Structure 1
Amino acid sequence: MDARKSALDILEKTSRTFFIPISRLPDGLLEAVSSAYLCMRAIDEIEDRPDLGNDVKARLLRQVSLNLQAAAEGTTASDFELGLASYGEVLPEVSLRLGEWALLAPADVAPRIWDATAAMADRMAHWADVNWTIHTKADLDSYTFSVAGAVGLLLSDLWQWHDGTKTDRSLALGFGRGLQSVNILRNYKEDSGRGVDFFPDNWSVKHMQDYARHNLSLADRYTEALPIGPTLNFCRIPLALAHATLDALERGEEKLTRSAVMALVKEVTLGAFRRRTVG
């Protein structure tokens, strides 16, 4: 199967939030962003796997990091996947095919994606070691940087690599942290059931909602500053979904319905089209 089509198939299975904006990116940028998303989703699935002990998660994540750091000309997909095959019955397909995602990006930007994924894997290993223990806002900021804020920085680099678009990197951090904090709010009851609490000591749901709102406001500023084009089109959809999800959670709903997601995507897409034609 064509590598690009295979990646989009897996992407559609793993993320309704990101599949649509990624699938609409132009050639080259689509492969780069797909590679970045799937590589990071691959290690995220290792971090989140309920049937692996924290020590095993940390070991696997550090092995993946070393695999990525060892990449060079001639590195094969199996080289990126060293150490994962033994857990083939536990890990999902997106993790076991990490090497394919690593090799999907254009050669001149792939090392930046490998570097970002290796660094994130090491950070995730740390959080597995400490059982995701968060006591202070600084701890929360550190965690949300580790797993999401750094993704915002990588995306900024990919935008600049593709067409020279420059962005405010401090706001890019807010973009990543905003999306992640909404995920924390959406999943905190499930996380509590597995003994993990991402809320700082003495924080209520309202505190986390305020944290999410603050970071989403930075994400709004980040997006508003983007020129019309693929970067803006990509960012608008997950940001709109994050705002809508946070609103739904505050109303007492568990998540957005699929119909609500599709309606919002259509609204955002149509709005982008109108902005492009009017502009």
Structure 2
Amino acid sequence: MGDDDALQSHLLDGVSRTFALTIPQLPPVLAKPVSNAYLLCRIIDTIEDETALASPDKRRFCQQFVRVVQGREAAEPLRDELGPRLSESTSPAEHELIHLIPRVIAITHRFDPPQREALATCVEIMAKGMAEFQDRDLRYGLSNMDEMSDYCYYVAGVVGEMLTKLFCHYSPEIAAHREEMMKLAVSFGQGLQMTNILKDLWDDHSRGVCWLPRDTFEQYGFDLRELKPNHDNPRFCEGFRQLVGIAHGHLRNALAYTLYIPARETGLREFCLWALGMAVLTLRKINKNLDFSDSAQVKITRRAVKATVFTSRLLRSSNSLLNAAFYLAGFGLPRGSNRLPGSGHRTDT
């Protein structure tokens, strides 16, 4: 496969059907670096998720990958050492991605310097941040909401910052709102990641991991050590409902972020709106089934995905109609604070 775009499309289709669907909505000049950025982030995820690697090895491979992205080391030695260490727990598509690291990095290094800087910064922060959580005992949740926000920043908020840099590089009109959008981008990422954490509660629980904040549930008198599937505990449901409200607040910021994008940039708006719409509909299902015991019970249907795509395309050019549609989609959801995450982690405005 000699064509960069064809290669990246093939790899994306294997490791993320969602991004394989949304990224092609972007203008081609943006779709290429965004595709590459997602693949770089997925390589970090693959290293972090590999059960056959001990924590020191994961850190070493991630640090080596950061240097590869920065252009300080060649990609081939990393591929040659990491590839054989991957187990069957890593999917065939991810095995292929690791095998093709040199091809992916070659694409990275052909971008403009500001684009390369955006991707390299994202990879470096994500790699360091995820390592902070690698050795923790996560069976009974994180200590507090601040820790949950930190985790969401490292796996999603930093991606929002990186995308905003790429959008600003693409459009001077978008760049005029860089400071406001960089703040909202972190919140956008946290809203999406919190939605995934809530939806995947029991998938994570089955492998001994919980990303929920203990302090949120302690205020309702529930200890996450007692959490088991098929529970019927109203105290847990109250804490979970509060997290739904916080996620909803971040998604309101996500809409504000999207509306900074000029209406004529329909592809960029759809890229954001599809993710936002599917997240809101997922929160609705969760809120109606707070005692769910399987992620399949709160997964939105193909019909809901199609409805999101149709509605986004119909309303994408009207800020007032998008605001109204978001209000209706979120009607009945708890309305937690949409206060922006703290700026302590942020590296650039």
Q: TM-score, normalised by structure 2?
A: 0.71
Which AA in structure 1 matches 2:82? Answer: L
Match of 2:107 among 104, 109, 129: 104
Note if contact 1:103-1:110 (Cα within 8 Å) is conserved in structure 2.
no
What is the match of residue 322 of structure 2? none
Residue equivalent to 1:212: 247
Moved more, 201-210 or 168-177: 201-210
1:68-83 aligned within 5 A: 68-69=69-70, 71=71, 77-78=75-76, 81=79, 83=81
Q: Classify 1:52/1:156 alpha carbon distance in 2 versus 1 (closer, same or farther; 3 Å).
A: same
Q: Distance in 2 between matches of 1:256 and 1:149?
A: 23
Aligned to 1:23: 24
Is residue 2:121 matched to residue 1:140?
no
Aligned partner of 1:115 in structure 2 is 121
Kept in 1, the 8 Å contact 2:158–2:186? The answer is yes
Give 2:307's aligned residue. Answer: 263
Q: Mapping of 1:34-73 within 5 angstroms? A: 34-69=35-70, 71=71
What is the aligned partner in structure 2 of residue 185 from structure 1?
A: 198
Q: Is the contact between residue 50 and residue 87 of structure 2 (CA under 8 Å) also seen in structure 1? A: no
* 1:120 CA displacement: 0.9
Larger radius of gyration: 2
More displaced stretch, 193-202 vs 42-51: 42-51
**How many Å separate the matches in 1 of 2:50 and 2:201?**
16
How many angstroms does 1:142 deviate by?
Answer: 0.8
Q: How many residues align?
A: 273
- Runs of 5+ consecutive residues of structure 2 not aligned to the other structure: 218-238, 290-296, 320-349
The change in CA–CA distance for 1:87 and 1:187 in structure 2 (over 3 A counts) is same
What does residue 10 of structure 2 align with?
9
Specify which of 82, 85, 93 is matched with residue 84 of structure 1. Answer: 82
Equivalent AA in structure 2 for residue 247 of structure 1: R
Distance between the aligned counterparts of 1:111 and 1:235, measured in 2?
22
Q: What is the CA-CA distance between 1:139 and the residue it aligns to?
A: 0.7
Q: CA 1:126–1:238 in 2, change beyond 3 Å: closer, same or farther?
A: same
**What's the counterpart of residue 328 of structure 2?**
none
RMSD: 2.5
TM-fit CA distance, 1:115: 2.6
Flag the 1:104–1:262 CA change in 2: closer, same or farther, 3 A.
farther
Give the structure 1 partner of residue 157 of structure 2: 149
Shift of 1:12: 2.2
> 2-side partners of 1:246 and 1:216: how far apart?
10
CA shift, 1:243, in A, is 0.9
Partners of 2:151 and 2:261 lie apart in 1 by: 27
Q: Which of 220, 224, 227 pairs up with 2:259?
A: 224
Distance (whole Å) between structure 1 residues aligned to residue 55 and residue 97 of structure 2 = 20
CA contact (8 A) 1:4 1:104 kept: no
Question: 1:194 maps to which residue?
Answer: 207
**CA separation of 1:88 and 1:45: change in aligned 2, threshold 3 A:** closer
